[in-house]
Structure 1
Amino acid sequence: MAWKRLIPTLNRVLVEKIVPPSKTNAGILLPESSTKLNSGKVVAVGPGSRDRSGNVIPVSVKEGETVLLPEYGGTQVKLGDKEFFLYRDEDILGTLHDK
């Protein structure tokens, strides 16, 4: 697992984007607009940032969570044959849950 070599610093989050399927199981091609949801799986998180008093403010997401990402932003990182993105904790729009 190449991502274990990179541990984010401060309040950064390492995300692997989820690529939605471009066609259904029956072979029907889906339009690009219907697969537009920009989401990813959190692979690693940093320890958090510090406030003025020196207290650690933990990152709001955990490893393994599915998050909603902004359309633009993030720093692209290529590790091995996989592509990941680094985001600051405050740039992540929210978490996605089943029901």
Structure 2
Amino acid sequence: MPRTPRPTGPDDGRRANRVLAVPVTLLTLVTAFFCWAALVTRPAGPWDDGAYAGIAVACLVALVAATGALGLWLLSRRALGWAWAAPALILAAVAAVRWASIA
């Protein structure tokens, strides 16, 4: 018995890919939070190793979350577009610059 083909149209597969917009958005929000935490944390002086470690960890978590958001975006880039990836890219750059500035 022959299979009936699925209907194809301009929206074929895009609805399923838009489901990935939720985790991309959540990971971008996590990236923004840890980026903010890294930016507002100020060490009391050069001896404040705890603050420097906190900044480094916040930057690392921000970069990991941004990488996850960009990875999910790559899976559905046809449906989501560049506007979904831009915030994660910008926040990853901010986290990388902040991490490099504490060294």
Structure with greater helix percent:
2
Question: Which protein is richer in strand relative to its size?
Answer: 1
Q: By the TM > 0.5 criterion, same fold?
A: no
Q: Which has the larger radius of gyration?
A: 2
With CA pairs under 8 Å and 6+ residues apart, which has the higher RCO, 1 or 2?
2
Q: TM-score, normalised by structure 1?
A: 0.28
